[in-house]
Every structure is written in C-alpha cells, then in structure tokens.
Structure 1
Amino acid sequence: MNAQCIMVCSGKGGTGKSTVSVLLGACLARLGRKTLLVELDSGLRSVDIIAGVYGRTVYDIEDVLCGRCEGAKAVVPSPLYPGLSVISAPYEGGAVEAAPLGRLLTAMRPYFDFILLDTAAGMGAPFTAASTVADKALLVLTPDPVALRDGKIVADRLLAGGRPQSAVRLVMNRVRRESFGKNAAVADLDECIDTVGVQLLAVIPESRVLQLAGANGTVPPAADPAVVAGQAMAKRLCGQRVPLTF
C-alpha cells in the first residue's frame, strides 16, 4: 500500500466538511480501501462523534505532531465503519505544521489506501499544512453565493502553487432542488462550477437522516440519497466511471 492523501477543505464554515469527510471515509472503506481520517480542526472537534470513536481516543493529532506519541498510538478504528480509522483533533489548542504532518503521512502511507485530512474552514495553519502534503484536494461547498465566492478564493490558493487542475475537485453538499432556479440565489450547478473554477466530483443532497446519524454517532441507512451520492463519490476517486446524477 502507498496511500493517496486527500485534503478536505472549505472556504466558510457550515458547509458540512467533516460530515462529508466521514461519509467519504466510510464509503471508501466499504469498497475495501483501508482509510485513515485525520482531523486537523483543533478546538472544534466533531469527527470523533460522527465516526463513532468518541470516548475511545487516548492520544490526538497534537500528541502525534509534537512528539508525545507515535502516530500508530493515536489511530482508533471506527466501530461503525470497518476499514475506517481516525486520528482525532484535540479539544483545544494544538498547532498544525507541515513538517511534522508530513512525517506522520510518511509513516502511515504504507498501511492505508487513502488518508483523508479534514482541515479547518478557511486558510489558516491546518489548511496550509495540509495543502503542502496532500496529493489532492476536495473543496466542499454549499450552493450559496458566499460559499461559492469563498470557495473560489480557496481554489485559487490551492492552484497557485503549481498543483494541477485535476488535483482540485468540487463537492457540492447539502443540495436541494430549491437551491437552484430563478427564485434562488444560484441559477444551477453550472454556475457553481464556473464560479469556483474546478471540476465537479459529487453532488450530495441535503439529508436530515445523515445529519441525525452524525449527531448521534450511528450509521445512516445505505439507501439514503446522501449515502448513495457518497458511495458514487468514493467510486470515482477509485477510478470507476459513475454517472453524476442530481
């Protein structure tokens, strides 16, 4: 194994980035890909609840990056999603820098097929560190003008360092039919793509079921439309051709 490292980022908060990170990790694991999800959003930790590892964490990403423990000691297998493991963020504090994060990835890559980096919203230290070491970036946005504008800024930053256009992909999340049209703030998906300027990977519909499952630390039903969209997204990242429907 030599894991592909993918950072999951957003411009503004509230786009559902962490929920998408866990959904993607769970779907990749369901396809038989061993997946490690590393949460970098210190102080706003949520992945542990969504992935079902709350109360099982002894060490977090800060312990690893500052050298208090080896990376393997912070890895916690998800009891909800076999094949998915998590390194949680601390409840407070903790600096994320590229060099120690890179060393962690070097140590972890041989044991996983995918490593997902759930960054903090915006372009602070977690974003900068992740963008330095990640192979690809998924930009998770909602269909509103503010999210799209901020997403364009983030996309430009990701591409400014010479990263190829194909390495940055757009995930539109929490999408409803009412999100688009003449009575909505955004006309259609094409406007989302044109505004941000990167290729669309997935459209994940608004799902109260998925939100409740994440809040309660339970597994959402496989037939839920958001889970179906997540599975299609995972298959595309694995090289399968799956039609994009909405």
Structure 2
Amino acid sequence: MSYIIAVASGKGGVGKTLVTAALAVSLAKKGYTVLAADADMGLRDLDLLFGVQDEVLYDAVDVMKQRCKAEDAIIPVMPHLDFLAASQKHTWEKVDAPTFQYTLESLAPDYDYILIDCPPGRGKAYKYAVAIADKILFVVEPSWSSIRDASRVMQFCNKHKQFHYAALLNNFYGHSDGFVSADEALESLPAEHVAGILPHDRAINRLAQEGDMIHMDEGLPFYQAMERTTAYLTENEPVPVAELIAGLPHEEKTMPAAGEGKTGEIAICGESTGVDEAIPAGAVEELAKAAAHVIPGCRNMAGGLETVPQEQDDRESGSGCPGTETAIDKNQPVPSPMRISLKQRRSQSRMWRQYRR
C-alpha cells in the first residue's frame, strides 16, 4: 500500500507543480516507486516539467470512464517514476470525485508513493484532491500574499481536524530586500511541522522551463535541500531548519554599481542603451539593422561602426547623429525623420521572435 502525499498551496504560482516534480524525481532516485498524478483538472502543467506533454494520449478521466486501461494512461518518465495526466477538457465541476479517488487508491498497491499535484486554494477541487492523502504539503513562496493564503488553508485544516499537514517553503533567499525571509515566514505560519526550505536556484528554474526535471544535478543546492524533505517523508527525520536557512542564497544583483562598465552595451547615435551583457552577438546584429532603419548613418552597435558617407546621410535624412556638426543649407527644407511603418514593425517583430526560438 502506497503513501499518498498531496502537494497543495493557498494560491497559485508558488511553485507547487515544480515541487511535485522535484520531489517525485528525488524519491525515484532513492529507489522508491512513485506515481506523480496531476489533479489540476483543466489546467494541467506537470507533464510540461517532465517533458512528456507530447506523449499524453489518455488521462485520468479516460481511466475513470473506462475508455482505456490504467496502464494505457500511465506514462513512464524515468526508472521508478510514472506519470498520470489530468484532463484538459474536463474541470472538477464535471469530474466525479469519488471515482477519481477510487482510481488512485486502486493504483496504490503498485507504488510506494503517490504524489498528487493539487489545484490551489481551498475550494471543492482542493477538497476532492486531498481527501485520500496521508500527508499534505503546503507550498509557500517568499511573499506575504502566499503566506496569508497558506495560513488560511491551514486554519481550514485545523477547523476540520486535519492535522496531517506541513509547510514547505520554496524559492527562498536569505535576508534580502523585497522578499520575506524564512524566519518571518515560519513565525507567521500556523504550521507545527516544516517539511523543508528550498532555496532559489536558477538551474532548477531552467530545467523546469526545458521540461528536463528528471536530470536534476544532485550537487545543486535545491536538490540537496529537497533530499532533506525526502528524508522527512520517508524516514521521519526532522528538517534542520537553522542549517537550511543558513544555506539560503543572497538576492542576485542584476544592475551594476555606479561607475562600473557594462559589457554588451548598445550605442545608437553615441548613446548607450545599457543592454544586459547576456544578449548574444546575433541579437545585437538584429538590433543594429533595426536601428539603421530608424536613424540612417548612425549604426554603432556594440562598438562596431558601419560607416555611411556623410553627404549621402545628409541628403537622405537632413541631419546626422546628435552632436555631429555638418554643413547644411538652412534655406533647404529639412525632411522629417524616417518612421517605421506598421508593416515593417511587424516584420521586425516576427524576425526577432524567430531568432529567439
């Protein structure tokens, strides 16, 4: 008989699905057999993080309505880890909750753990998803809105004598401006148990966006913190809160200090736009072409100057770059600056999107 864990949250967008995927991978790497079930009917996303969105042919509702067998809907993700998708066509208003619960319970003998990615909030969908759970993990992000909503759901659990829950802090920094600290979050939450404190980790966010969560590096701080949560669930080991808080990263500063030089800047007509250094060379060239259409004769892109004869520039636009002294007949009318048509603007936008892909 498997141990059923529901991963829930007070509000959406706190990383609940990411935590579900990461926890499932961590348990599978420990040798436990795991079924990750998406219960967010109509808004499933767990398949994206596993990279199996193109393999979903049947879903949980198809199994419930006996359109297919359970083994036809279950997708192997990696050794010891399977995935069952939620329906994209049916919401919980059209799904029979007892049948969904029976479906998961009938699969329980085949797995050590079943993880349920629940809908956010505390509505009927949440109640249906957590009704058969042996443990509920409430994911909280470093914001007061997330903390308040999670607190309300925990109070709801207390009111209904459901004390089998724990708080799981996700995407936290150390003490940093603009983010609630882990200490403040734990003091504000009415949870008696803490299942873990997961740090902000850009590598994990990248893997989630690429649908490659199964290849998490075991040396990442996020994965190491997740292993503490895995030990808490599998071996009842207490989470070392102080140790995890001490290991949280500091907020990343993306803006350079005053007086520091910035590489990758784009200069148009002698002015620096301060573009971040992460812009690739190809993107700089595309922006250079766009700038050349806007202001002829002034195409200094990332230090590269494409020269255009001054006389030709003056004839075309009537003026050069700001600050450039040229001899111009004052009696001759000066044409208005060249403007980009709507058609050209759409074409350039389309070219940029294609380059980004």
TM-score normalised per structure 2: 0.63
- Deviation sequence 1:182-237 (CA, Å, 0-9, x none): x5563x43432232211211011111111111111222322111111112211211
| Contact map agreement 1:34 1:114 (CA 8 A) in 2 | yes
Asked if residue 149 in structure 1 is aligned to residue 148 in structure 2, the reply is yes
Instruction: Determine the structure 1 residue equivalent to 2:294.
Output: none
State whether structure 2 residue 7 is matched by structure 1 residue 11. no
Q: Residue 232 of structure 1 corresponds to which residue in structure 2?
A: 228
State the AA in 1 paired with 2:197: V
Distance 1:140 1:31 in 2: 22
Within 2, Cα distance between the matches of 1:184 and 1:99? 43
Q: Please name the residue that 1:176 is paired with.
A: 173
Contact 2:174 2:182 in 1 (8 A): no
Q: Does 1:207 align with 2:197?
A: no
Name the larger-Rg structure: 2
CA RMSD in angstroms, aligned pairs only: 1.8
- Residue identity opposite 1:30 in structure 2: K
Which shows bigger deviation, 234-243 or 6-15?
234-243
State whether structure 2 residue 185 is matched by structure 1 residue 192.
yes
- 1:216 paired with 2:210, answer yes
Q: Percent identity?
A: 28
Over 6 Å off, 4+ runs: none
Specify the alignment match of 2:38 in structure 1. 39
Closer, same or farther in 2 for the Cα pair 1:69/1:126, shift >3 Å? farther
The Cα shift of 1:240 comes to 5.1
Q: 1:43 to 1:98 in 2, by over 3 A?
A: closer
> Are the structure 2 counterparts of residues 65 and 178 from structure 1 closer, same or farther at C-alpha, using a change threshold of 3 Å?
farther
Unmatched segments (≥5 aa) in structure 2: 246-357
Task: Kindly provide the CA deviation profile for residues 32-52 of structure 1, in whole angstroms up to 9, marking residues without a partner as x.
Answer: 110101101123222112113
Deviation at 1:94, TM superposition (A): 3.4
The one-letter code matched in structure 1 to 2:99 is P
Task: Indicate if the aligned counterparts of 1:98 and 1:128 stay in contact, CA closer than 8 A.
Answer: no
What is the CA distance between 1:57 and its match in structure 2? 1.5
Aligned residues: 237
| Separation in 1, partners of 2:112, 2:32 | 6
> What TM-score comes out, normalization by structure 1 length?
0.89
Greater relative contact order (Cα < 8 A, sep 6+): 1
Give the counterpart letter for 2:204 in structure 1: L
Tell me how far apart the structure 2 counterparts of residues 68 and 94 of structure 1 sit (CA, whole Å): 18
Distance, in Å, in 2 between the alignment partners of 1:230 and 1:155 is 22
Aligned partner of 1:89 in structure 2 is 86
Structure 1 pair 203/105, CA: closer, same or farther in 2 (3 Å)?
A: same
In structure 2, the partner of 1:111 is 110
1:57 match:
56
Shift of 1:138: 0.2
Amino acid at match of 1:191: E
* Gap regions ≥5 residues in structure 1: none
Q: How does 1:22-37 map to 2 (within 5 A)?
A: 22-37=21-36
| Shift, 1:20, TM fit | 0.2
Residues 1:150 and 1:62: Cα distance change in structure 2 (over 3 Å)? same
**Any conservation in 1 of the 2:60–2:100 contact (CA below 8 Å)?**
no
Q: Name the amino acid aligned to 1:148.
A: I
Local SS of the residue matching 1:235: helix
Deviation larger for 197-206 or 86-95: 86-95
Counterpart for residue 48 of structure 1? 47
Cα distance change of structure 1 residues 66 and 122 upon mapping to structure 2, 3 Å threshold: farther
